[in-house]
Structure 1
Amino acid sequence: MSVYDAIVVGAGVEGSSAAYHLSKNGKRTLLLEQFPLPHSRGSSHGQSRITRKSYGKDEFYTDMMMEAFPLWEQLEKESGTSLYRQTSLLLVSGPSDRNVEETQHALQTRNIPHQIIPSGRELKEKFPNLEYPDNYRFLLDYSGGLLYADRAVKAFQNEFKRNGGILKDGEPMLNIYPGDIITVRTTEGEYRTHNLVLCPGPWAPKVLEKIGLNPPLKPIKVIACYWKEKTPGEHGSSRFPTIIHCGGDIYALPAYEYPGLFKLALHSGPESNPDHRDAVDDGWILEKVQKYVATHLPSLEPVPSVKENCMYTLTPDSNPIIDTHPKWKNIAFGVGFSGDGFKLAPVVGKLLCELVTGRTPSYSLEPFRLGRFSKSRL
């Protein structure tokens, strides 16, 4: 049996990016996915995601995004596929929230173009369809926009295969046998590898348990809602920004996926088993989002026209876990992205590649280490 340089488990955006970087670095790599591709069971499906450089107190994300943007551009050139549309991003902050000030500091110190809108009245002059109190504050990050999610995942996978990588979908992993040579057993057979990268999305608790790890991960079900415009054409990506309401746990994207439907959803949801996600009570989500639309975007119809399910995997501090196994350094994992990892995928994939190839990580991994959740640290 031949031995791969690396095996990546999970062909969502993080795993596909890691496999792409490994193959670009000349590593003979196998990418395994439990479901037939494409599928909508995990966290990487759908046509659009928000991208931005604006982060508040966690300025290390701004630094990572300053590299992620050119890496996305590089993937666009390699794949011949458009992956990004600039719309600007509007950060909404209530009167007691410091996020706008913290984000402004991060952007100013890095000379990233942005604009402060100091009141709801001035925001309405710029975006007449938005209704917020006058004592709210707003920041426009001009780099913000849409990532074309389905296209992006496919581009990583296509370039991975073009670089000699092997992708096998519809093949669930059953077990892992660590060692200097790792054996991965699936429903179809066994594969051997020098290095293993695990990106199992909401199945992370079950997968990491196989190698003796039990980090505090909570999969939740999120519902993406799409709202019909009362006046067609007012919320398109040529006229409207993406939106993140920091205190309200709301995000929104201009009409793109469905003509005339504006995407707005709650960045939260009930804890859920990813294999039985439809069994949970999620009625309260719709109630909360409908109230938000009625209050702040009355230019939309009051009931969503389309609802789609997605899974997040949360950590207690909302930062992902990007690390190697405490005992077996040839096993790396990227899990727990808390609904905020898609835009970071080119950098996350690069970091995972660096971890299993013995290179110094491009960024400090202190905010992402598994050890931050040890009992003594907690």
Structure 2
Amino acid sequence: MRTVAYDLWKQMSSGVLRCDVVVVGAGVIGSCAALHLARAGQETILLDQFPVPHKRGSSHGLTRLTRQANIGNTALTSIMADANTQWRSIQAQARQNLLRVSPVLMLVNKSQQSLMDNMVKSVKDQGFSVQWVDPAVINAKYKMNVPSSSLAFFDQSAGLLMADKCIAAVQQLYIGAGGRMVDEWPVDEVKVEPDGVAVVKGPRGLVRASSVVLCPGPWAGNMLAKLGLQLPLRVLRVPVMYWPIKYKGTPTTSFMDLGTQPGHMFGAFAEMEYPGMVKLQYHGGVDGGPDNTDQGDTQSVLERTKAYVKNHVPGLIPEPFVDHHCYYTVRHMHNCLTRRIPDLASPSCESSLCMGRTLHGHTLWPSNVPSLRTLRSPKEIKLHHLSIPKGALEGPWVWFNNGLEVHKNNTSILVLDESCTPDEEFVLDRHPRHRNIVFACGLSGTGFKIAPVVGEELCRLVMGLPPLHDIHPFSAARFAPKPTLTSKIATPVTTFATPVTTKRSQDRVFDSVLKS
């Protein structure tokens, strides 16, 4: 009897693999997509460029937080609920403990009442309870220093996903469904031939398939650019830090603090991974890619987090153990930190919103303006010009939430890239020209907990089925017309449309420009 393994070995020996669908990237998103495809009867091959498992991407690690409190687009509420159900189903099928119940404390300040209302609504809408808690109680029990003006509640739906175990379980279920997985298979090129067949090419050979699903994580920007799709993505190198508990026996809790430093988020996981230590980190990192593991000095992130722990979590010793680094792929918006400009040749910036300035395509204004954090677009301020030497923009970048702080002596100026997108959501779509190529990227900070649903929606895109959820807010169309599609094939400038039907029978149009 011929087996799947035998067929795969025979094809690999010839240098050409064939299947219905090839999935590029065996992280949590790609693995979930492959599982749904295999169970839908699609002959599927799952590729990864490194030996599986590995720590080169975004999916590795011991834990990820899952919750129902939604701090993003409202379309995520039903997606998060469905994903929670699917993770529990995967846990039952794998017969392993993949999810541990762990209520998460959500913290905001009183000026963020609308955000709090949205989070509470998203939890209650899915039938979960909300436990309000006074900051004084939090401080006494968990040895924290939460401001008395904070608003706080426990999301009882939350839990901790055992990340590495989850991916292994999904991949095992995928193989059990007849799927084929090939690791150590890097991809150099993805193309669609004139007859419509998709070809994935690498040093080890070719994969020929009817459709391609791209889930390349931090490699998404380069891979999609080769297909002519330019998306505003940034890859951040993020240190994963663990902090010793100062007082033995102190209870710990998972929390997300969005209010202590508005525009910046800190999160912690209850004591579990390492006895006597709490995983706590800043939601941000330094510019750097996974192909350069020594690129990106994260010391600035470390110092910022140490200051936060010292001031707001005194129950922890502010000297962390950095276990490893993870790579976030984020939408290029308000995720910036500090870099230095050597020769700031300009009049001093005044504390006035009308004194916004431009710097080689960037917008600048004083960072000490209290209402600055409420701004979402450089169009909201009047622009003036600022003379900066071209060489001043050379050097490493460090990204935080709310713009780029450029320091000159004791003066801090905030820079917001004018190419920033109007949101910080992920991208889930099909290629506008090659209909048999679908992709998901920019999911860092959200992706792991919703991976089963994203994988299912990718599967449905491949099979031409309508989405089960409203995925319109996550389409690549929202970046048009600034991100343009370029093709190596000479073609006149063209406008095209890609209709996608949602379960509410709504159509969206993906309009962009093709350039030769």
Q: TM-score, normalised by structure 1?
A: 0.94
1:86-235 aligned at under 5 Å gives the runs 86-98=101-113, 99-117=115-133, 119-125=134-140, 127-179=141-193, 180-235=196-251
**Structure 2 counterpart of 1:251:** 267
**Structure 1 counterpart of 2:470:** 364
State the SS of the aligned residue for 1:55.
coil
Structure 1 runs (4+) greater than 6 angstroms displaced: none
Separation in 2 of the partners of 1:123 and 1:298? 12
State the SS of the aligned residue for 1:155.
helix
Deviation at 1:37, TM superposition (A): 1.1
**Structure 1 counterpart of 2:21:** 6
Deviation at 1:67, TM superposition (A): 0.8
Partner of residue 440 from structure 2, selected from 317, 334, 338: 334
Contact residue 114 and residue 141 of structure 1 kept, 8 A: yes
Deviation at 1:186, TM superposition (A): 1.6
After superposition, give the CA deviation of every residue in 1:326-375 in whole Å (9 maximum; x if it has no partner): 01111100100132210000100000000001111111221110010012
Separation in 2 of the partners of 1:249 and 1:10? 28
Deviation at 1:57, TM superposition (A): 5.7
After superposition, give the CA deviation of every residue in 1:56-82 in whole Å (9 maximum; x if it has no partner): 462221211111111011111111111
Contact residue 49 and residue 146 of structure 1 kept, 8 A: yes
After superposition, give the CA deviation of every residue in 1:198-257 in whole Å (9 maximum; x if it has no partner): 00000001111221111111111111110111233434xxxx332111234111101222
Residue 59 of structure 1 pairs with residue 74 of structure 2: yes
Considering only aligned residues, what root-mean-square deviation do their CA atoms show, in Å?
1.7
The one-letter code matched in structure 2 to 1:244 is M
State the SS of the aligned residue for 1:20.
helix
Higher relative contact order (CA 8 A, sep 6+): 1
The one-letter code matched in structure 2 to 1:50 is L
After superposition, give the CA deviation of every residue in 1:159-207 in whole Å (9 maximum; x if it has no partner): 1111111111111011112142111112211111011000000000111
Query: Percent same amino acid among aligned pairs?
Result: 35
Separation in 2 of the partners of 1:185 and 1:142? 46
The structure-2 alpha-carbon separation of the partners of 1:59 and 1:41, relative to structure 1 and needing over 3 Å to count, comes to same
Separation in 2 of the partners of 1:328 and 1:26? 22
**Which structure would you say has the larger Rg?**
2
The one-letter code matched in structure 2 to 1:81 is Q
**Structure 1 counterpart of 2:45:** 30
**Structure 2 counterpart of 1:305:** 321
Separation in 2 of the partners of 1:26 and 1:249? 42
**Structure 1 counterpart of 2:254:** 242
Equivalent residues, number:
372
Contact residue 318 and residue 337 of structure 1 kept, 8 A: no
Which consecutive residues of structure 1, in runs of 5 or more, have no partner in the other structure? none
Residue 77 of structure 1 pairs with residue 92 of structure 2: yes
After superposition, give the CA deviation of every residue in 1:84-104 in whole Å (9 maximum; x if it has no partner): 111101111023223222211
Deviation at 1:2, TM superposition (A): 6.2
Contact residue 57 and residue 103 of structure 1 kept, 8 A: no
Contact residue 75 and residue 471 of structure 2 kept, 8 A: no
The one-letter code matched in structure 2 to 1:321 is V
The one-letter code matched in structure 2 to 1:295 is N
Separation in 2 of the partners of 1:2 and 1:45? 27
Which consecutive residues of structure 2, in runs of 5 or more, have no partner in the other structure? 1-15, 334-422, 483-510
State the SS of the aligned residue for 2:31.
helix
Separation in 2 of the partners of 1:57 and 1:373? 18
Separation in 2 of the partners of 1:198 and 1:57? 24
**Structure 1 counterpart of 2:398:** none
Contact residue 17 and residue 206 of structure 2 kept, 8 A: no
Contact residue 323 and residue 369 of structure 1 kept, 8 A: yes
Contact residue 73 and residue 425 of structure 2 kept, 8 A: no
Partner of residue 275 from structure 1, selected from 288, 291, 306: 291
After superposition, give the CA deviation of every residue in 1:139-177 in whole Å (9 maximum; x if it has no partner): 210011201000011111111111111111111011112
Separation in 1 of the partners of 2:126 and 2:204? 50
